Amino acid sequence: MTLGLHTFDFGSIGEALSIDQASSISLVPGVEIEIPITQRWTLKPVAYLGWGKEFRHSNYAWIYWAGLKNRMAFKTGKLNGRWSTL
């Protein structure tokens, strides 16, 4: 969940952080599933779908994205490491 402020005055942080100053809000829940391919390699498909609204102009938007995360563990000599991509 994200709450947006269009104007922010550092001199009066208490007033700026009030709910009356909020100008947009969004909620984008998601799903991530980890799938082990081998002992060292995993894939993680991800998907997010949500909605956002701007209060002052009554605009709204659907927010979505999907991807595939990749993680590979490796060992070289005394070093262990992981390589990840999205």
What is the spatial distance between Cα 10 and Cα 33, in angstroms, rounded to a whole number? 41
- The yes-or-no verdict on residue 36 having pLDDT over 70 is yes
For the record, the structure tokens of 23 come out as: 């100008």
pTM of the model: 0.61
- The yes-or-no verdict on residue 83 having pLDDT over 70 is no
What is the spatial distance between Cα 4 and Cα 56, in angstroms, rounded to a whole number? 12
What is the spatial distance between Cα 49 and Cα 46, in angstroms, rounded to a whole number? 10
pLDDT band at 57 (very low <50, low <70, confident <90, very high): confident
What is the spatial distance between Cα 47 and Cα 30, in angstroms, rounded to a whole number? 6
Q: Virtual CA dihedral for 5, 11, 17, 18, nearest 10 degrees?
A: -110
Name the more confident of 72 and 4: 72
pLDDT band at 2 (very low <50, low <70, confident <90, very high): confident
